[in-house]
Structure formats: C-alpha cells, structure tokens
Amino acid sequence: MNVSFTNKQEKYIADQIDSGDFQNASEVVRDALRLHQFYRYKVLDDLKLAIEQGWEGPASTRTVQDILQSKKLQEATE
C-alpha cells in the first residue's frame, strides 16, 4: 500500500519520531488511525444519541425562523 503525505504531515510524523514517542512512521500512522477510528465512532454514537433524544423529546414551539434568527444574533455577538 502506498500513501502520500503533504510536507506538513511528513514533518509532523518526523517530529513524532524525533520526540521518542514512536520508533518509525508506521507506528505514528497506526496510532493516528486508531485515534481516528475511536473519534469517528464516538462522534457517530453521540450524533445517534442526540437524534434519538430529539425524536423522543418534547416538540419545540420554536419555528424555523425563530431558530435562524437566534443563530444570527449569536453570530453577531461573537
């Protein structure tokens, strides 16, 4: 399998090896893939839970326009 990295990614991998935390690039990539897999499943599980809570929770009295206006006001104050 061939994998291409950007210069920035190659530098990051080299820095990780230089730090002594990893012995080679394969270890860095395997660790990154484990973290990606964990993160991905965590995000998906959290989204599924939020969707389930939304379906099972009480109906909102807010309209789409109310929600959009609230978002605009929030962005204006940031």
Sequence-distant (6+) residues with CB within 8 A of 31 are 22
What pLDDT shows up at residue 50? 94
Is the Cβ–Cβ distance between 24 and 32 less than 8 Å?
no
**Residue whose entry in the numeric block shows the structure tokens 């991998």:** 13
Reported as a single tens digit per residue, the pLDDT across 56-69 is 989 889 999 999 99
Residue type, 49: L
What pLDDT shows up at residue 60? 87
Reported as a single tens digit per residue, the pLDDT across 5-47 is 999 999 999 999 999 999 999 999 999 999 999 999 999 999 9
d(CA 26, CA 12): 13
Measure Cα distances from 11 to 6, 15, 25 in Å.
9, 6, 11
**Residue 4 pLDDT > 90:** yes
